[in-house]
Structure 1
Amino acid sequence: MSRRSLCLWLAVVTWWTLYGVVLAIESLTIQTAAGTHLEPDFAHAFRTSLSSAWIWIPLTVGLIELAQRCPIERGGLAVSLSLHSLAVVAIIAIRTALLFGFNRWIGWYPQLPDFSVVLASSVAKNSLIGWLIVGVSHALLYYERANTRERQAVELEARLAQARLQALSAQLNPHFLFNALNSVAELVHRSPAAADRMLVSLGQLLRASLEGSQTQEVPLREELALLERYIELEKMRLEDRLRMYWEIDRSLLSVPVPRLLLQPLVENAIRHALGQRTTPGKVVVRVARQQDWLVLEVRDDGQTPVAQSAHHSNGIGLTNTRARLRALYGDEHSFALTRTDADDGTVAQVKLPIRMLEQAA
C-alpha cells in the first residue's frame, strides 16, 4: 500500500469513527432527556452507531478513488456522472442489504420493518451522504491538482532562475578573460618577461575561476582570494600606478557572496581611477556589516565628474552584476554607483541581507 493510500485510509477511518462516537453520544443524550426510567444502554448505542458509521469507510474510499480516476469534468461529463450515480445507487443497495443481514446481531431495529421501509429510509439518507462524499472527493482532487500546479510552477521558476544565473556566469567568464588578455597584450612588446609571468598567473586565475563555475555563491574568503589574484595581474601591468587598500571585517569571511562579484567592480574602479591619468590611482576594497546588511564597497579616487562617469555603470561586467544580484536576491539587495561625498572618487556599493546569506550557507 502506498503512503498516499495509507494516509487516505487513516483519515477516513478516523473521520467515520468520530462520526460514530458523536452519533452514540447524541443517542444517549436523547434517551436521558426523554426521562424514561430505563438506564441508558451504552453498549447498544455505541454498537449501532459505530457499526453504521464504519460501513461507510470502504464505501468512502471507493468514492474517493472513483473521483480520482473518473472526475466529473468537461470532456467526459456524461460518463463520469453516470458512474458516480451508479456508485451512489450501489451504496444505497449495499447498506440496505447489510441492515437486513446484520440487524439480528447489531440491533439497529428492535423489530425489522418491511424491506420497502428500510429501502426508502436508505434512499433518503444515504443518497445525500453519498453525493456529499462525491463532492468532498472532488474538492480534494482539485486541491491536489492546484498544489501540484503550484509546486510545478515554483520548480519551473527555480529552474529558469538557475539557468539564467548560469548563462550570466558563462557570459562573465569570457568578458573577464578578454579584459585580462588585453592587459597581457599591453605588456608583450614593453616587457616580454612580465607578459610571460602574467600569462602564468592568468592561467592559475582562470583555473581557480572555472573550478567553481557551477557555484553561484562562495565564502567571502574565496571571493577575496580570487580577487587578489586578479589584482596581482593588474599590478604586473600597472606596477606602482595602482595602489590597493583593504578594509575587511575578518568576522565576515565565512559569509557566502555571489561568485566573481567584486572582480568587475574592482576592474571598473581601476579603469576609472587610472584611465585618464599618469599619476598613481587608489582603489579601496571594503567589507563591513551594517546591522542586518553585508556591505561591500569598491572605492576609487578617479576625478571624473558625475555627468561624465555615468557610462561606467553600463559595461558588460557591471550590467551582468546587476542582473545576477536581481536573480539571486530579488528586491532584497541594493547596488549603487555614486560619487563620494567629497566628490573625490567613485564608490560602487553592494548591500546584501546577511540573514539570507547565512541561510544559504
Structure 2
Amino acid sequence: MKTKAHLSLYWKCQLAGWTIASLYWTLQGFLTGGFRINLALVQLLSDVLIYILITHLYRNFSLAHHWEDLDLRSLLIRILPAVLVMGILYTLITILKLYGIRILFQLNAQQSIQEFLKLNGLGIFMAGIRLMAIWLLAYHLYHYAKRALRMATEKAKIELSLKQTQLDHLHMQLNPHFLFNSLNTIKSLIYTSPNSAGRGIDLLTELLRAGLYKGETLVLPLEEELSLVKDYLELEQLRMGDRLTFKIASNRSFSNIQVPRMCIQGLVENAVKHGVAVQKNGGFIQVLLTRSPDFMCIEVISPGRLSGKNTESGIGLKNLEERLKITYAGNASFDLYELEAGQVCAVVKIPTYE
C-alpha cells in the first residue's frame, strides 16, 4: 500500500512565505505599469527558488552546527553576522538575476552591470538585510518555542516518574508498618483469648486482601477504604475490648469518591495508638466525612491532648502528608489540633475533582 508524500511544516512555510513575497513584488510591478505576464512569471518563479535556496542553505548550516540548541545570547552572536552574510549573498544573486532578466527580455540592454549595481545595489542590499532578518527571526523563534515545549514535556515526564517512585517508596514503607502493628495485636490475643486471635487472623486476611495486595493502587473508592478501617477497628477491639468504641458517619453518595489508599486507616491507627490506648478507660473514636463542592473533609476525633511529644508526626502521619502532597500537587491539606473536653482532631481535606 502506497503512502502519500508528506510535506513538512518547514517546506510549507518556505513555499508559502516566499510565494507571498514574490506575489507582492509582482503586484508592485503591475501597479507601476509596463506589466508583462511572461516577465512576471519568470520573476516570481526565480524569486521563490533562489530565496528558498539561500535560506535552506542557512538552515542546513545551522542544523550541522546545532545552533538550535544554543542559548539566546550565543545564538544572537551568531545570527548578526549571518544576517550580514545572507544579505550580501541575496544582493549578489538578485543583481545577477535582475541583470540576466534584463538581457533576456532586452530591457535597457545598453546599461552595464556596474551601472546597474551602482544604481540598485544599496536598495537591494537593504531589502535583503530586512528579509533575511525577518526569516531568521521567524525560523529561530519557531525552534526556540519548540525546544521550550519539548523541555517542558520532558520535565513533566521526569517529575511524574519521580512522583510515582516516591509514592511507591511510601507505600512500601507504610505496608510493613501496618502489618507489624496488626500482627502484634493478634500476638497479644493468642494467650488471653484464642477465639479472638482466630477472629483477628480472619480480619487480617481481609485487610491484606482489601488493602495491602493492591500494591499499585494509589487511590480507591471511599467505600473500600472505610471497609478497611472497620476491619482494622474491629481487630483493635478484640485486643482492647470495651476500652475502644467507634462510630463512622458517612453518606452513601460519597461511596465512589476516590481517596488515597490507607489514608483514613492511617489516621484511625494514629488515634488508637496515641489516643485510646494511652487512656486509662480507653475512649471513643469518631470518623466524620463531609463534602463541599470541591473538597472532601475527613475528620478523625479521638481522646487525648497534644503535647510536644505526640504532636511530632510518626511514620504514619508523615507518610500521609507526603502522599497527599505528591498525589494532589499541594491541593490537599492535613491538620492536627486539640478540641475542648480532652479531644484531638485530625483533619484531611482532599479535592474531589478527578
- Equivalent residues, number: 342
Decide whether the 8 Å contact of 1:216 with 1:259 is kept in 2. Answer: yes
Q: Relative to structure 1, is the Cα distance of residues 225 and 41 closer, same or farther in structure 2, using a 3 angstrom cutoff?
A: farther
**Structure 1 length normalisation: TM-score?**
0.77
Q: Which residue of 2 aligns with 1:57?
A: 52
Q: Relative to structure 1, is the Cα distance of residues 27 and 346 closer, same or farther in structure 2, using a 3 angstrom cutoff?
A: farther
**Structure 2 length normalisation: TM-score?**
0.78
Q: Which residue of 1 aligns with 2:186?
A: 184
* CA-based RMSD: 4.0
Decide whether the 8 Å contact of 1:20 with 1:52 is kept in 2. Answer: no
Instruction: Name the CA distance, whole Å, in 1 between partners of 2:276 and 2:320.
Output: 22
SS at match of 1:311: coil
Q: Which residue of 1 aligns with 2:291?
A: 289
Decide whether the 8 Å contact of 1:273 with 1:282 is kept in 2. Answer: no
Using the TM superposition, name which of 215-224 and 88-97 deviates more. 88-97
Amino acid at match of 1:305: R
Using the TM superposition, name which of 89-98 and 275-284 deviates more. 89-98
Q: CA deviation at 1:335?
A: 1.0
Q: Relative to structure 1, is the Cα distance of residues 23 and 320 closer, same or farther in structure 2, using a 3 angstrom cutoff?
A: same
1:19-76 per-position Cα deviation (integer Å, ceiling 9, x unaligned): 33444445555x3xxxxxx6x8595797477435523335434423432222456999
Identity score, percent:
27
Amino acid at match of 2:48: W
Amino acid at match of 1:343: A
Q: Which residue of 2 aligns with 1:343?
A: 341
Using the TM superposition, name which of 10-19 and 288-297 deviates more. 10-19
Using the TM superposition, name which of 66-75 and 160-169 deviates more. 66-75
Q: Relative to structure 1, is the Cα distance of residues 278 and 46 closer, same or farther in structure 2, using a 3 angstrom cutoff?
A: farther
Structure 1 spans left out of the alignment, 5+ residues: 32-37
Instruction: Name the CA distance, whole Å, in 1 between partners of 2:65 and 2:214.
Output: 50
Q: CA deviation at 1:238?
A: 2.7
Q: CA deviation at 1:190?
A: 0.9
2:64 alignment partner, one of 66, 69, 72:
69
Q: How does 1:1-361 map to 2 (within 5 A)?
A: 6-28=8-30, 31=32, 41=35, 47=41, 50-51=44-45, 53-55=47-49, 56-71=51-66, 95=94, 99=98, 110-111=107-108, 114-116=112-114, 121=121, 125-126=127-128, 129-130=131-132, 132-279=134-281, 281-300=283-302, 302=303, 304-307=304-307, 311-340=310-339, 342-355=340-353, 358=354
Instruction: Name the CA distance, whole Å, in 2 between partners of 1:7 and 1:180.
Output: 62
Using the TM superposition, name which of 64-73 and 248-257 deviates more. 64-73
Using the TM superposition, name which of 87-96 and 272-281 deviates more. 87-96
Q: Relative to structure 1, is the Cα distance of residues 45 and 99 closer, same or farther in structure 2, using a 3 angstrom cutoff?
A: closer
Amino acid at match of 1:242: L
Structure 2 spans left out of the alignment, 5+ residues: none
Q: CA deviation at 1:351?
A: 1.0
SS at match of 2:8: helix
Decide whether the 8 Å contact of 2:331 with 2:351 is kept in 1. Answer: yes
Q: Relative to structure 1, is the Cα distance of residues 168 and 16 closer, same or farther in structure 2, using a 3 angstrom cutoff?
A: same
Q: Relative to structure 1, is the Cα distance of residues 104 and 223 closer, same or farther in structure 2, using a 3 angstrom cutoff?
A: farther
Q: Which residue of 2 aligns with 1:34?
A: none
Q: CA deviation at 1:162?
A: 2.0
SS at match of 2:310: helix
Using the TM superposition, name which of 327-336 and 18-27 deviates more. 18-27
Q: Relative to structure 1, is the Cα distance of residues 286 and 53 closer, same or farther in structure 2, using a 3 angstrom cutoff?
A: farther
